[in-house]
């Protein structure tokens, strides 16, 4: 019996190849995405920054900057020191967190924030005010050493990409499943029909054989030839041979 792929039309084979390639791209794209990699990484620190010009909002001079720092890893960052470095004198600031802040201090152009730990999904919110545009760099040090902080100016773009990859993966699986299921059902139907035709043929042979036996049995009543034990055994053996054959 031919395989499923050998029965496909060129268009179906092309669709199947594209679906498989799309599934591979979508699957590995999701596996390597930040949302998935964060599920099995240690402490992973992210920062989302935002800034507003007060002149366009309230008519007053000055700038408001907000940094939200979060841990998206699977474990806490222990003995954490957050360092925010400015190009000039640090602005006025306020820091809040759902974790306990040990202390915060200003040292030159740096603001340092100390925490015993930053747990999974915990956040630090750092709000600052300056009359000039605010420029800064962020880094942190914990019990495992110095670690990078990834800035997210447009976090929604990553979410959109991951949603697209997820949709591509799901649609590819559905297309592959549909193609193979349709041809598998066709093969099963053909096999059932083949067995049905074979069974009908055997039933017809059995009917013909039974009809022949009935004719032979009825012949002694119309003729003087007696039915011997050997003749009777011959009929029985023929019937048994036929049943074994079917």
pLDDT in tens, 126-158: 999 988 888 888 888 888 877 767 776 545 556
CATH number at residue 122: 2.60.40.1170
pLDDT at 114 over 90: yes
Buried b or exposed e, range 72-84, using 16+ CB within 10 angstroms: bbeebbeebebbb
41-79: pLDDT as tens digits:
567 788 888 888 877 777 678 888 898 988 877 778 888
Instruction: Give dist(CA 22, CA 174) in Å, integer.
Output: 12
Crossing angle of helices 229-245 and 155-222, in 10° steps, is 170
Give residue 108's region: left, alpha or beta (phi > 0; psi -120 to 50): left
What is the pLDDT at residue 126?
92
What is the pLDDT at residue 223?
47
What is the pLDDT at residue 110?
93
In this prediction, residues 85-107 reach a mean pLDDT of: 90
Same domain, 234 and 170: no
Same domain, 202 and 174: no
**Domains in the chain: how many in total?**
3
Residue ranges making up the domain that contains 118: 43-143
User: 103 lies in a domain?
Assistant: yes
Q: What DSSP state is assigned to residue 108?
A: T
User: 148 lies in a domain?
Assistant: no
Buried b or exposed e, range 173-197, using 16+ CB within 10 angstroms: eebbeebeeebeeeeeeeeeeeeee
Same domain, 135 and 113: yes
pLDDT at 122 over 80: yes
pLDDT at 165 over 50: yes
């Amino acid at each position: 019996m031919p395989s499923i792929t050998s029965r496909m039309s060129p268009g179906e084979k092309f669709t199947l190849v594209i679906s498989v390639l799309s599934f591979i791209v979508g699957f590995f794209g999701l596996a390597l995405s930040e949302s998935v990699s964060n599920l099995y990484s240690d402490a992973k620190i992210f920062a989302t920054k935002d800034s507003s010009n007060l002149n366009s909002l309230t008519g007053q001079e000055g700038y408001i900057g907000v940094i939200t720092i979060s841990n998206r890893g699977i474990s806490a960052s222990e003995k954490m020191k957050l360092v925010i470095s400015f190009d000039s004198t640090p602005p006025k600031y306020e820091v809040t967190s759902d974790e306990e802040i040990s202390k915060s201090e200003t040292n030159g152009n740096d603001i340092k924030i100390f925490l015993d730990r930053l747990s999974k999904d915990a956040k630090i919110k750092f709000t600052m005010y300056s009359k000039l545009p605010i420029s800064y760099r962020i880094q942190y040090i914990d019990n495992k050493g110095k670690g990078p902080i990834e800035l997210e100016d447009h976090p929604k773009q990553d979410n959109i990409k991951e949603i697209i990859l997820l949709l591509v993966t799901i649609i590819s699986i559905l297309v592959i499943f549909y193609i193979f299921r349709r041809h598998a059902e066709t093969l099963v139907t053909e096999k059932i029909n083949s067995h049905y035709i074979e069974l009908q043929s055997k039933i017809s042979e059995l009917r013909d054989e039974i009809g022949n036996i009935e004719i032979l049995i009825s012949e002694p009543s119309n003729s003087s030839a007696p039915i011997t034990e050997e003749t009777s055994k011959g009929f029985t053996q023929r019937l048994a041979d036929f049943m074994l054959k079917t």
